[in-house]
Amino acid sequence: MNSTTNELDWRSDKVPVSKVFDDPYFSLDNGLAETKHVFIEGNGLSERFRDGFSIAELGFGTGLNFLTTVLSWREQQCSGILRFTSFEAFPLQPHDMTRALLAFDELQDIANEFAPYWLGLLENGKIMLPDVELSLIQGDARSQVSNWTGLADCWYLDGFAPAKNPELWGEEILQAVYDRTHLKGTFATYTAAGFVRKNLQRAGFEVIRIAGFGRKRHMTHGYKSASDAK
């Protein structure tokens, strides 16, 4: 890891690709539809949203998952506050986030609403609006998740592909994720890599393989059922 880790290439002038991890920030096919399938539906959020619902994410990237989630929360006219905490070691610059989000027509209004806040988010780690509270915890998630004192109702596991970034899918960090999940809390991820599923199981999650998005045959979701849950 070093400070150049968030240097980007742009595929088709639209999709940011990390030069160091050699992996795109979102699906080249349809990143927004994949986010909805994997993270929103994969965590069953439309039936679960309630005041104070807490989502945690590994890898904030462009903010695509966050904005898609806020859109879904608002579409359901949920009352109260959605809490979203994201762990990010190599934050993108606001102008790169804005450029990446241009790929999604459906997100333009909400991307424009949040664009003025990105710089403050990088400096202060927080955006607080009447309906949404976003916390960005900078640094290596392998140590930062263990230091986090919160508990999540659901997790978005969205590091780069396990083959490109195995460090974000290791036994210790997935144990820390499990330890910071409420009883009956869930996780979802686009990957169905065997070692990731094994690490999630070892941590204590019930792990289920389901149909993936687009050309990906499988993805993984699961939940915390054990009585040792907090």
Ligand X SMILES: C[S@@+](CC[C@H](N)C(=O)[O-])C[C@H]1O[C@@H](n2cnc3c(N)ncnc32)[C@H](O)[C@@H]1O
Q: By CB under 6 A, name the binding residues for ligand X.
A: 6, 25-26, 59-65, 87-90, 140-142, 158-160, 165, 167-168
Cβ atoms 32, 39 nearer than 8 A: no
Q: Which is nearer to ligand X, 193 or 229 (CB)?
A: 193
Selection from 227, 207, 228 nearest residue 219 by Cα: 207
Least Cβ distance, residue 183 to ligand X (angstroms): 25
CB of 79 to ligand X, least distance (A): 25
Q: Whole-angstrom Cα distance, residue 78 to residue 27? A: 28
Nearer to ligand X, 137 or 207 (CB): 137
Pairwise CA distance, residues 70 & 117, whole Å: 15
Nearest to 8 by CA among 131, 104, 95, 112: 95
What minimum distance in Å lies between the beta carbon of 36 and ligand X? Answer: 12
Output 39 or 49, the one with its CB closest to ligand X: 39
CB of 215 to ligand X, least distance (A): 17
Helices marked H in the chain: 31-35, 45-48, 64-75, 94-101, 108-114, 118-124, 141-147, 171-179, 194-203
Convert 116-146 into a string of H (helix), E (strand) and C (coil): HHHHHHHHHCEEECCCEEEEEEECCHHHHHH
Distance CA 134, CA 27 (A): 23
The least distance separating ligand X from the CB of residue 226, rounded to whole angstroms, comes to 26
Cβ proximity to ligand X, 60 vs 148, nearer residue: 60
Residue 146 CA to residue 209 CA, distance in Å, equals 26
**Minimum CB distance to ligand X smaller for 168 or for 203:** 168
Residue nearer to ligand X on the CB measure, 134 or 141: 141
| Residue with smaller CB distance to ligand X, 113 or 206 | 113
Contacts for 123 with CB less than 8 Å, ≥ 6 apart: none
Give the ranges where 2-107 is alpha helix by DSSP (H): 31-35, 45-48, 64-75, 94-101
